[in-house]
Amino acid sequence: MYYIGIDLGGTNIAAGIVEEKGKIICKKSIPTLAYRPTDEIVADMAKLIGMLIEKGGISTSEIKSIGIGCPGTIDIENGVVIYSNNIPMKHYPMAEKLCEWTGLQVYIDNDANCAALGEYAVYGEGVSSFMLITLGTGVGGGLILNGSIYHGFNGAAAEPGHMTIVSGGEECSCGKRGCWEAYASATALIRLTKEAMKKNPQSLMNKIAAENDRVTGKTVFDAVLENDGAAQAVLSNYIRYLADGIVNVENMLQPEIIAIGGGVSHAGETLFAPVREYVRKYGFNKYLKKAKIVSAKLGNDAGIVGAALLNL
């Protein structure tokens, strides 16, 4: 049997046919066009599934279920999107609507939770606790305990990006101050980079940004490779913020694996080595095994894989 996974994003609807172990056998994406009636988006999701089935050369009878990873607050029991900002929705019965189009069982969960489940699938069996943290525009994540997404009692867990790590600090888009997201996201890294560029006009970061016509999450890493002092200071600051949050996750939950994904994670060992060192030094657990801190593997496919596996 196969499973359809849909990663519903503000820009694109990405979908794939997925095998039981999490392997994508084919995938395809279409634009979301988020600001149209949601019924039209769902109709396009149904069309996309039709195209996938054709592309994959399988029949509908070989598909066990559909899963959707959706941004926002989800009532997973009832398959309802309670609220989403990126794709404007309020109390929208998405699972029911897509089931009407396809005749298949539809599962839905938060997109970050699906990504976590997808990454978990590639780390295989036997991992009792797994946390994915994604460093992108925001800081997202999901917690997998004993093979299942941990939702808390109300379905709203886990939101590691909105832990306070600097009480009273930078304002976050969520309305609170000092969230991890405001210090450890790619957006935050770009802010820290821009601040340092202003203070250090001689820094290589300015030259690199000018060559690329903009500051990105990569600017500081490129300058660090050339031993730029101001860039090294930015990075070491960023790493402390990032690692403080990872220590928080570890001290609270002691997951067996903490996987870091999202754009910033592509910096590789320049980022991972000092983060691991900080966590090793400052994690509260000094006498027992420590979490493995690894790079997420699936990139943008994680959401598709996790959504597909929602009913397993």
Please tell me whether residue 183 binds a second copy under the rule CB under 8 A.
yes
Q: Which one among 61, 124, 214, 289 touches a second copy, defined by CB under 8 A?
A: 289
Beta strand 63-70 pairing with 2-8: parallel
Q: Is residue 158 reached through a cis peptide bond, with omega within 30 degrees of 0 on the bond before it?
A: yes
Q: Tokens 């780390």: give the residue.
A: 123
- Binding marks (x or -) toward a second copy, 125..144, rule CB under 8 A? --xxx-------------x-
- The crossing angle, in degrees rounded to 10, of helices 204-212 and 186-199 is 120
State in angstroms the smallest separation of the CB of 87 from a second copy: 15
State in angstroms the smallest separation of the CB of 246 from a second copy: 10
State in angstroms the smallest separation of the CB of 271 from a second copy: 17
Q: Which one among 152, 270, 273, 297 touches a second copy, defined by CB under 8 A?
A: 152
Contacts 24+ apart (CB under 8 A), 150-153: 151/76, 151/113
Please tell me whether residue 287 binds a second copy under the rule CB under 8 A.
yes
220 and 200 Cβ atoms separated by less than 8 Å:
no
Please tell me whether residue 176 binds a second copy under the rule CB under 8 A.
yes
Q: Return the number of the residue (84 or 206) whose C-beta is nearest a second copy.
A: 84
Beta strand 12-18 pairing with 73-75: unpaired
CA angle 170–175–180, rounded 5-degree value? 45
Please tell me whether residue 244 binds a second copy under the rule CB under 8 A.
yes
Q: Which residues bind a second copy (CB under 8 A)?
A: 73, 75, 82-83, 127-129, 143, 145, 150-160, 162-168, 174-176, 178, 183, 240-241, 244-245, 247-249, 251-256, 281-282, 284-291
